[in-house]
Each structure stands twice: as structure tokens, then as C-alpha cells.
Amino acid sequence: MPARDLFQLKSALRTVDSAESVEVLAETVEPVSAPLARWLRGQSAEPPVVATALSAIVGVLLTIWILSEEPATPGRLDDVIDKALAGRLDEMPIPRRGACFCGSGKKYKSCHGRG
């Protein structure tokens, strides 16, 4: 997924209340990524859990793109999604000294990378 799309997703997610339905999340991201919208519609977790995971996924993918200047590979994308859905944010494929994906301004190792 190109960085432009990731930035659009991040911006769109800021406009959605995480307590809203998964369908609302899917409708929000559909103009940017129809496959992601389909994936969201298939999720059975509560909307706040899905919204948190989606936000983490987008943040991590943006961080990977910023650090490597290229999009994540499909394998890496699957890894990020699996870890975000499992709540294993401390295992994301981000250099520990890199900026945390959450936007806190802290290094990953001092924020979500603490395990």
C-alpha cells in the first residue's frame, strides 16, 4: 500500500469514533482501500478492538515506510496484522531506536516496544 494511502487512512481514522460499528470503520476506509474494507467487515471483534488494531497497523506500516522508504512486503504486512490483532504491539517489526508508531514522540523501545 503506498504511503499516500496510509496517510489518508490515518487521517480518516481520526474522524471515526472507535465505539462505532465495524461497518462504519469499513465505510471510512473503503474509498482508500476496498480490500481493507472487506477485511474489516470480516472481523468479529468489538469495534473498539478492531479500531485500535487498525490504527496500530496503519501506524506501523507508516513507520516501516518512513524508515525504509518502501512499502511493507505482503509477508511483513501479514505479520503486522497478526501481531496487532493479538495485542502484541511490543513485537512489531520496527527498529527499537526508531520512532514509535503511535505518534507519542518516544522511541519505540521506550513506548510500545517495551515488552
Q: Which residues constitute the domain of residue 47?
A: 3-87
75 pLDDT higher than 80: yes
Contact call for residues 95 and 64 (beta carbons, < 8 A): no
Total count of domains within the chain: 1
Determine the average pLDDT of the residues in 21-35: 87
pTM for this one?
Answer: 0.72
pLDDT at 6: 82
- Answer yes or no: is 109 within a domain: no
Mean pLDDT for 90-103 is 86
Whole-angstrom Cα distance, residue 56 to residue 91?
12
* Any domain includes 93: no
Residues 63-77: what's their mean pLDDT? 80
Give the model's confidence band at 105: pLDDT under 50 very low, under 70 low, under 90 confident, else very high: very high
Return the percent helix, strand and coil in the chain, to nearest 5.
60, 0, 40
**Residue 16 located in a structural domain:** yes
Q: Is residue 104 part of a domain?
A: no
Q: Identify the residue with better confidence: 24 or 66.
A: 24
Asked if the structure places residue 17 within a domain, the reply is yes
